[in-house]
Each structure stands twice: as structure tokens, then as C-alpha cells.
Structure 1
Amino acid sequence: PTRAEPPIPAKPTSITTSSEGTLEREGGDSRERNELWRGAMAGRAMMFATGDEVEVSSKDEGFRGAWYEARVARSKPYGRLYTVVYDHLVDDGENPRPLRETVKAAYVRPRPPRRGGLFPPHLPVDARYNDGWWVGVAVRGRGEAAERYTVCFPDSREEMEFPAADLRAHLEWVDGEWVEPDEVTPGTAAMAFPIGTHVEVSRNRRDSLPAWFVATVQKLILKSYLLVKYQSLKADDKEECLKEVVDVQHVRPCPPRVSGKKCFNLLEQVEVLHDDGWCIGVVSRNCGGSRYIVKSKHWEGEMKFSQDAMRLRHEWTDGEWVLATKEEFEIFERGTKVEISSDEDGFRGAWYAATVVELLSGNMFRVEYEALRTDDETELLKETVNAFHIRPAPRTPAVKEFKLLQEVDAYYNDGWWIGVISRVLEGSRYIVYFKQTKEELEFGHSELRIHVEWINGNWIRTSEALPL
């Protein structure tokens, strides 16, 4: 399939500088217009005049990465600011009306040319979603005339289906010109993985925990996306290996193999090959004959592995491989407020508030739950758990409101479940989407908290990779 060329305007326009320092459109050729736009970007004048149709981006959480259609209401040359009125976003007042706000000039760009035609696989596209244009990559079309397309968003690892009318070929606004994706220079991180490189890609498994899968880079897309083909991971209901477009943040080089390693030690951190992926675990026992018992959060209890399917765990840190040390479990004193996870069906994926009532040997703890009760409902449930399923009670900052697409924990059925804000309602209420069950439920503000992960003794906001 081929893509149609961008439409040619009947009368090209250029831009001139007004007495107020703004740019006004007049007749002229596109070369002159681009020169003037580049001059505006260099700080000699404001690029847009009152009434110009533009797109505006935002750094606010929940809006980052999208472009929203608007019109310029006023330019402020001395502050390099624009006041814009959005086409589709509205304010939250009693009488909703188009949202009006003042933004930095750096967050404003012209509207790109719309181009029709088909969208072949792995073509960067913009998808209209929740009133904004979001950058994604076309995966496949559906229907005789490809009326609908599946689009992947490598940053969040999500796939969604869109009608063709809600898609446009992606262009980059660079130095006052629209640039084709193939002309965009990949970022430094992506350039470290040229075509043909063997890498490992992090993917969440059915247990919602990440494992590393070996793949080969087949294409570099935009600044930070890679098309990879997995070595062993198969596509659903297919014999061929899966291909996926991933963000470079989910990719690392293949770790080194330590030569001369004859045995693994007790409590040594390892990675084991399980269901085609490398999973983090800890050696709990040497069974002899080059076989070991390994504990991991990926499975309940213990599993036995041969030495050939094991390797020492290394961390890819600042461009270097760092050997992980022996596992050191958190020691929780009696009376400590904690949260407990479970591998049982119906409980997997949630964290339940509890209090440590007794420290046991072998990294085991006796806890009493704050909300879960015994089967006869007569008393709070007490249970023995291992160190893999316990963490401190999280310290999450209070927020006045949650934003669209923000990752949260929702309190449901006595536990905290990870989800994403899919809709913001009135009265501090929200619709939350749960990826694991593909369900949406409504919650009040007090039933939500910012999602954080307990990693290496620190609380981390995984969506931003920033410690709290």
C-alpha cells in the first residue's frame, strides 16, 4: 500500500512581522514562509497571529505526549507566550465552555497537513484519543479497505483500535519545517542498538511481573522506538515469532555470561529461563547434580532449575553491567504496618494492608490483616507469609486531583489494585481501567492513591522512574 502525498495549497502563504512583533500571513511561497517561521523560532518574532489554528502540547501528567487543537487568542511577544482557546477541551465550570489558557511559545506548533491513504505496518501515526493527538505506530489494518487500524503506543505498551478517520501520518516539526519520520535522527539511546543487534526486551508476563526476552532489532523508528523480533516468543495462535515496536527504555543489551561459574551460592541473585523469558529469583537450596531450588515472585513456592538455565543477575546501570549482590530481605519488626501480596486466584495482583505480629525463621513473618477476615467472619485473618510477598506500607503523597491516564492504586474488595485513570468525572470521581481484567470501575478520590513500586529499598513511581 502507498500513502497519498500531502495536499498542495491553492495559494501558498508566507508570514510577515507586524508592528507588535507577531507574524501575519500573506501571499508568497512556502520557502519564504519556512524562513520566516525559522526566524520566529530563533527568537526574532512570534510565529503565530491571533486566529491562527495551532496545536498545543503539555508537560502535565496525563497530557504529556499529546497535541491538542486550538486557536491563538492573543500573543505576548515579551514573555514568549500565547493565550489559546482549545477546540475540544472544556473547562470544569458550571457552564462548560472551550478551555482558555496561556502557554509557552515552545509548546505551540502549526497544525500538520492531513494526508489520506493507507497506513502500512510500522508507520508512525498520530491517533485522535480523548480530544488529543497521540503518537503511536500502526500495527495492522482491518477490513477490505482498511477502515480500522490497530495502533500500538510503545511508551505504555498498549494497543488500541481506531477508525481510519481518527488517524493521520505522523510528521515531526523540526526547525520550522514538517519532517518525515524516516528523516528523524534516532536518539543516543536508540542508536546504541543498530539493526541486527541481539538485545533483551522487558515484557510483563501473565503474572504481571516483568521478564527479559531475547530479540533482534529490525528497524529504528522515530527517536526512541525499535521494531524487534523475538527469538522464541510466539505471536498468539501463530507459529512465527512475535514482532513488536518497543520504546528503548524497555530494551537492554544481552548480559554477559560469566565463564568458569561452577555453582551458585545460597541467597545468590540469579535469572532463570522460564517460559522463554529470563526471570529474577534467589537461590534457596542446592539440590546437587547442578540443580537448584529457586524462589521468585513469578511463581508460588519453589521451582527447580538446572545450571544451564541459570545465570548470575546483572543490572544494566548507566551503560554498564553491574553484578547484583546477595538478596537482603527487609526485616520488619513486630507491629510494623505492611502490605501483603498473594499468588492465589482472585487475590493475585492486589496488596492487602496488615500488621506484623511475629518474626519467624527463614525470612517468614506472621501477619494480621486489617480488613481480611476468617471464613466465619469472627476475627481478623492471620497468616504466615514469606519475604517475597511483603513490603512496607507505601508513603504516597496526597494529591488534590488525579489526571487522565495517571497510574493509580484503587481500593476494591479490601485490597489495593493497580489501574489507570480512563475518565475524570465530576465531584472528584474517576473511572479506572484495570488492564489485567480489562474492566472499568468507578471510584471516589479517597479510594485512590498514586501507584508506586517497592524496588531495592525505595518507593519508585514507575511511570516516571523517580524515587519518592
Structure 2
Amino acid sequence: MPVTGGGDANFEVGAEVEVSTRGALFPATIIGKGSRATIFTVEYKTLKARSTTGRNKRKALKEEVDMAVLRPSPPRERSSYAFEPGDEVDAFYNDGWREGVIAITSAGSSKFSVYLRDLKRQLDFECPELRLHREWVSGKWVPPLEETIVSASKEAKAIKQEELSEGSLVEVRIDEEGFRGSWYAAKVVKVAGQDKYLVQFKGLRIDGDKEFLKEKVDKQNIRPYPPEAIIVDGFDLNEKVDAFLNDGWWEGVICKILKGGRYKVYFKESDEELVFEHCDLRPHQDWINETWVMASQRLNKM
């Protein structure tokens, strides 16, 4: 897992980074500088220090590392379930991101089988546990970020220009008691009439878990899958987000920022607060007039 931490990178106290150690990339925050210009003290977000008191609660691990094993935190990205066999990815396993390759994708399944190179093992992962693999080389991301952003933009425009058809990736809203405010990934099986579609969900199964649920939905309850490249380093208090829970995305609001890259989210429909990791949240977007609009953009227009 070659990582170049030098170059023109500017690592300041408070910067969000990833540390290459123990065969993986671990998210951390720079909390201090060492005696030399290339030495930094980091606090890990997922690794804990050994307890010296015998108590169950352990503090976040802090240690000094060299710049050579540091890189900035990569952009927040959400895949639109479009990974294919052979794709280079990072999989989140045992508190860190490990380099691997997509080995198998199953039609109708929300899981991907990934071969982890350092562990020499093949394991299954959900989409939120995967990201495109990139290297930080001489102060730049390889492959470059611009390609992903442009690709996502083109994808969104293509969706706007043509109607949903068989095979289109979508999200479906379930407007029933206990499900309001949630969206679920699905694939269009066929057009089932005027403004109606037969879809197969990627996470919801029928009784017995034998196969994925198929259902007819109205156009008003279906939208294209959101663009995959969304760059977010952190979320702000009172920011509107979607939280991944029970195989779906639920609309909520950040009500408290916790340590270790965690957030407490308030859900209006159920009047409850739950804690989520950063990787299980995404910026909230609305599909308005065949265009994706961020929550902040919508407020500015009102």
C-alpha cells in the first residue's frame, strides 16, 4: 500500500488525515507537531489505547508518526452500487481501510465480494463499507478526483435527459407508517404503465430472506440514484443529512457532534436521536425539477 505523505501536502494541527500502519489506512486527526518538521502527533478515530485502569471504556490511541505515512483524508464518496469485478477498492475492515479488488458481484444483491490483498482473504462488504482506491502521490490523488466528479456530473445530466428504463439504478421512497423519510436503493425491472415502475430492492427482502422484494411504485416515489461523488470532510450542527440504517437512507438533522468522527442525528418522523459514524452519513439532496439540489442550496433559494 504505497503512500506518499510528502510533496506539497500541508499538514496542520486539526487536519483530518489517514495513517498507513498495520497494513491499513486508519482515519486520524493531527493534534500536535513533533520535535522534527516531519513528525506529527495524531489521535486515531477508530483505534483505542490499552486501558491502564482495567475499566471497559478506553481512550482514543495517540502516537507520533512520520509524514511519510500520512496522507489527507480522501473525499467523501458514495458508490451508486456500480462496482464491477476487477475494480480497485478500499474496504473498511477491523477499524481501517484495506486495499482490495472486487472479486464477485451478485445480481440483485447489495453485497460485494472483495479480495483483501494484505490478509489474502475474500470477504463480503456492503456498499457503504467500500470506496474507490486512490493513492496520494506528490500532493495529488491518483486517479485524479476531477475524473470522478466529471463522471458523476455527466451521469446526473444523462439521467435528467432520458426517462428511467429497465436496469436504471434508483432510490424508492416508502410512504408508510414507520418508513416515512426513508429511501431504498433499487433497480428498475420494467416500466409497468404510465408513471409506474416495477422495481427490485437491493436491501429489502421478502419473508424468509429468500429473495429481494419486488414492488410496483409510482413516479412520485422514485428518483434516480444520487451522484456518486460527494466531497464532505465533516458535518455541521443542524445540517440536514441522510443516515444509512436498516438498508435504507433516512432523512435527519445533525443535533450533536461527538468525538471520533461520530454524530448524533435527530429524526423528526420518529422523534428519536441515534448515533452514526461519519461513513454512514451523506449530505441530504432533493430531486427537484429533474435536478439534484443540496439542502443548503435549497435554503438559499427559498
- The TM-score bracket by the shorter chain reads 0.3 to 0.5
Q: Tell me: higher relative CO, structure 1 or 2? Use CA pairs within 8 A at least 6 residues apart.
A: 2
Report which of the two structures shows the higher radius of gyration computed on alpha carbons: 1
Q: TM-score, normalised by structure 1?
A: 0.31
TM-score by length of 2: 0.46
